[in-house]
Amino acid sequence: MVIDTRAGKGSIETDHAEDITYSNLWSGDANATATVAVNGEVVKTATGEGVYRWSLPSKGGNYVLTHTTTKSGAQVGETLTATFVVASHEIEIDDGTGGLGGKDSRFSYSGVYDGQWHGISVAVSKPSSGYTIRYASTSAGPYVDEPPRFKDVCSQVSVYYEISADGYNTYTNWAMVTIRPKALTEAMVVADEDAAWFFDGTEKRPAVTVVDGDPNIATASDYTLAYSGRTGAGLFPVTVTGRNNYTGAVTKEFAILKRPVAPPVIPSRAYSGRLQRPTITADARWTVVANPGGTDAGLYTNVVLRLTNTADYKWKGFGEDVSDWTGVFEIRRGANGWSTYPGVRSWTNGVEAASEPTGRARFGTLKVAYRRRGAPVETETATRPSAPGTYTARFWVEETRNYAGVGLAVPYEVDFEIFRRPGDPAASETTTTPVPVPHAWLDAYVGRFGGGDYEAAAHATGANGVALWASYVAGLDPADAASRFTAKIALGADGIPVVTWSPDLRTAEPPRAYTVYGKPDLGAAAWTPVTDANRAAMRFFRVEVEIR
């Protein structure tokens, strides 16, 4: 806007010059000060005449311009006035409501809680730039530059906005912000669903939380937990109910398991000849249904215990629904022993009567087996010996239904001797070995291996690992650890295997007989005597020796 204060000019110029009236603006006094006000607000102060400019009002409307001249603090001349009009321009928006605003405005925000900040979003169509948007929570303001933001659930919260621009009327309207609660899902509810507890009579409260995203946007104030209060065995629910920023409910199930009850140890009793029952440990968790006991030694499957609370307890190692447990009561065989220790005395063959074995167990029948002293147990027999020599008698009593045996695990043995009748010739060979062994051959070894007893020496194992009677048959030296019966295979001139062995006693006295056995392969079922007909097919051989 321009005002010309030069003498005689008295003019006001404006690009909005409608309805302007004016009068002489200058008093003619060069030392006076001119003051210009628009609608009472000073817009320019000038000293001396000249041309002065200032900005038009930013808003359209009717304005009154006043001009006063002062000198030395006193007004000089009259107050001059002029009126003018600034044309109005309208700010244009398109919020989808025709300017009504509110919840239906496209500037409004409506969404589901996501942990982020949200607010209204205003778009100006005209002017395209140079405008300012300010916001307030009420229509009366105050309006500020920063728009209000919302993160938590809210419903139709009003946000007012004011748009201003130079040359435009200020535009005011409102929009709304709505944040709806988010629905809880199974995936959000986190708990150890495999967790389980054994019944102990107390309520179980498993840890259950809501986790939504990373970082987690759910807080403890966004949900509540409801426990069932169950203390007994079975499934119990935990219900998570959304509140504040969440809605809906999710239920998780957990288990209280039946507590396993270990059955009591049923003590055994020793046979006494009377009816006996086991003592069952008292326990509030079971009752004794049956306990008839027994008399004879043995196992009695007749102890029955029943759980008193099958809803919360189960027998350890049994099914969930098994209420009765059957235990085994054992009556052990009674202890046994010798009431008269066994014995047998020596006698002279043909002069004295054979000695009868003596001895008696507390329970059971005495049994006796005989063998040459030093001979293996496998050679013993129940027949009492009659030939002169030294012997061992083994005594035992087998167990009965109600009593244990005696002399079985720890043999009870007695040595005795049958003497030769005076004048009888001494024996010349053994009588308890698979083949008779001449005493003359054994003389070299009887002291070392038999303690002077020919029968014992014949059964003993020599330094070569072979029984002395077998060394006699094969022609070996029992005192020589390297003395062994060996065989060799060589190919004959015709390419057929030939088997030889050492020692070879076919011409000795008594002569030995040898049999060669063969197999075409080791997988064959049996050894077959080798003949001229099958010898070419054999690949593996074995040689056996015997006395003719």
Q: Average pLDDT of 158-179?
A: 93
d(CA 263, CA 290): 15
| Residue 503 pLDDT > 90 | yes
Reading the block at residue 201, the tokens are 């009579």
The mean predicted confidence, pLDDT, of the chain is 89
Instruction: Tell me the C-alpha distance between 45 and 54, whole Å.
Output: 11
Query: What's the pLDDT score for residue 49?
Result: 65
Structure tokens at 40: 């009472």
Please give the residue that has the higher pLDDT: either 89 or 269: 269
Q: Is residue 160 over pLDDT 70?
A: yes
The mean per-residue pLDDT over the stretch 21-33 comes to 53
Confidence of residue 247 (pLDDT cuts 50, 70, 90): very high
pLDDT band at 52 (very low <50, low <70, confident <90, very high): low
Q: Using alpha carbons only, how large is the chain's radius of gyration in Å? A: 64
Q: What is the pLDDT of residue 329?
A: 97
Enter the tokens of residue 123. Answer: 């778009």
Provide the pLDDT confidence category of residue 70 given band limits of 50, 70 and 90: confident
pLDDT digits (tens, 9 = 90+) for 526-543: 999 999 889 888 989 999
Taking 50 as the threshold, does the pLDDT of residue 21 lie above it? no
Question: What 3-state DSSP class applies to 464?
Answer: coil
How many other C-beta atoms are found inside a 10 Å radius of the C-beta of residue 347? 16
- Is the pLDDT confidence value at 404 over 80? yes
Residue 521 confidence (pLDDT) = 92
Residue 523 has pLDDT above 80, yes or no: yes
For 326-376, how does the pLDDT look when each residue is reduced to its tens digit (9 = 90+)?
A: 999 999 999 999 999 999 999 998 889 999 999 999 999 999 999 988 788
182-213: b or e for each residue (b if 16 or more CB lie within 10 Å)? bebeeebbebeeeeeeebeeeebebebebebe
Task: Supply the pLDDT for residue 194.
Answer: 81
**What average pLDDT score do residues 305-327 get?**
96
Listed range (39-43, 120-124, 228-232) with the worst mean pLDDT = 39-43
What number is the average pLDDT over the span 501-507?
A: 93
d(CA 530, CA 524): 14
Cα–Cα distance, 94 to 105 (Å, whole number): 9
Give yes or no for residue 23 having a pLDDT over 60: no
3-state secondary structure of 4: strand
- pLDDT score for 58: 65
- Which one of 44-58, 220-234, 380-394 scores highest in mean pLDDT? 220-234
Are the beta carbons of 36 and 66 closer than 8 angstroms?
Answer: yes
pLDDT of residue 2: 58
Element (H, E) at 83: strand 80-86
User: How many other CB atoms are there within 10 angstroms of residue 63's CB atom?
Assistant: 18
pLDDT at 437 over 90: yes
Q: Is the pLDDT of residue 14 over 60?
A: no
C-alpha separations of 394 from 133, 458, 528 in Å: 122, 21, 41
- Largest CA-CA distance found in the chain, in angstroms, rounded: 194
The yes-or-no verdict on residue 387 having pLDDT over 70 is yes
Ramachandran sector of residue 28 (left: φ over 0; alpha: ψ -120 to 50; beta: rest): left
Range in 130-134, 238-242, 431-435 with the lowest mean pLDDT: 431-435
Report residue 111's pLDDT band, with 50, 70 and 90 as the boundaries: very high
Q: What angle do CA 146, 148, 151 make, to 5 degrees?
A: 135
Q: What is the pTM of this model?
A: 0.55
- What is the pLDDT, as a whole number, of residue 514? 95
How much is the average pLDDT of 372-395? 88
The percentage of the chain sitting over the pLDDT mark of 70, rounded to a whole number, equals 92
**Contacts (Cβ under 8 Å, ≥6 apart) of 494:** none
Q: Residue 1: is its pLDDT beyond 60?
A: no
Task: Give pLDDT, residue 77.
Answer: 72
Ranking 172-181, 363-372, 492-501 by mean pLDDT, the lowest is 492-501
DSSP 226: E
Q: Enumerate residues 6+ apart whose C-beta is below 8 A from 158.
A: 137, 138, 174, 175, 176
Q: Which has the higher per-residue pLDDT, 509 or 77?
A: 509
Both tokens assigned to 83: 């009126």
pLDDT of 61: 74
- Strand segments, DSSP code E, in 214-297 are 223-227, 234-242, 246-247, 249-257, 259-261, 269-270, 286-290
Q: Which burial class, exposed, middle or buried, applies to 370 when counting CB atoms under 10 A from its CB (0-12, 13-18, 19+)?
A: buried
Say if residues 150 and 157 touch (Cβ distance below 8 Å): yes
Q: Residue 76: pLDDT above 80?
A: no
Q: Residue 96 and residue 262: Cα distance in Å, rounded?
A: 77
**Residue 36 to residue 45: CA distance in whole angstroms:** 6
CB 34 within 8 Å of CB 46: yes
Question: How does pLDDT run across 258-277, given as a tens digit for each residue?
Answer: 999 999 999 999 999 999 99
The pLDDT of residue 290 is 97
| Locus of tokens 């229509």 | 139
The mean pLDDT of 481-508, rounded to a whole number, is 91
Q: Is 414 helix (H, G, I), strand (E, B) or coil?
A: strand
